[in-house]
Chain A
Amino acid sequence: KQEVTQIPAALSVPEGENLVLNCSFTDSAIYNLQWFRQDPGKGLTSLLLIQSSQREQTSGRLNASLDKSSGRSTLYIAASQPGDSATYLCAARDSNYQLIWGAGTKLIIKP
């Protein structure tokens, strides 16, 4: 059974810092992995999707990597801004085509 874990559960950093969020999964048989952002009480915004055959994806200040063999993905945020404050979730699409989710990392960027 696929399990997805995100560590840390919460992170607070000063504005301008580069930071890395971690996502690990137990079963390497995934089709893809997707990173999302969720603002308080709101729905989910897709940030990056990495197919199983890819190693990384980039969008603006965001870079996501995928290492299936080690069961890990990272989301790198460059030059963080207060507007980046949100909860970041990763989800792996498993061999049953279901999205299995981590519980998220709550990120606070201090001005």
Chain B
Amino acid sequence: ETGVTQSPTHLIKTRGQQVTLRCSSQSGHNTVSWYQQALGQGPQFIFQYYREEENGRGNFPPRFSGLQFPNYSSELNVNALELDDSALYLCASNPGGGSSYNEQFFGPGTRLTVL
């Protein structure tokens, strides 16, 4: 069974650029969530996808957007990058049904640096 994978591992962008981060969920998991973790802080919920539809969103502006594909993999897109977007971006999947009871399994993260 393959766990949650993310790509790329590290990324450096400049302010104003756009970035796409990718996540492959664990086999059999149909729900994917994205989190932003700034240095020294806990993760902040960005949004969640269940069967290709967004079904929950945290307090992030619209320039943070996402997609989920029929194979349940997912993308996080960030437009007009700002310096404060520098963080570790974590993807998590669970067996779902969008259920609140399920354990979250995390990928290794993508470290984004905005200069």
Residues in A lying within 8 Å of B, measured CB to CB = 4, 31-32, 34, 36, 41-46, 49, 51, 89, 91, 93, 96-104
14 A-B pairs besides A31-B101, A103-B42 with CB distance below 8 A are A4-B42, A31-B100, A32-B101, A43-B106, A44-B43, A51-B101, A93-B100, A96-B56, A97-B100, A98-B45, A101-B42, A101-B44, A102-B42, A104-B42
A91 to B111, CA, bound (A): 21
Residues of A within 8 A of B88 (CB): 41
- Tell me whether chain A's interface is mostly helix, strand or loop, or mixed: strand
Interface residues on B, range: 20 to 34
B108 near A43: Cβ-Cβ < 8 Å: yes
Closest to B105 in A: A46
Checking B56, B108, B111 against A98 with a beta-carbon cut-off of 8 angstroms, the contacting residue is B56
Q: Which of A93, A98, A104 has the largest count of B CB atoms less than 10 A from its CB? A: A98
Q: Determine whether the beta carbon of B111 is less than 8 Å from that of A41.
A: yes
Tell me whether B104 is interfacial, beta carbon within 8 Å: yes
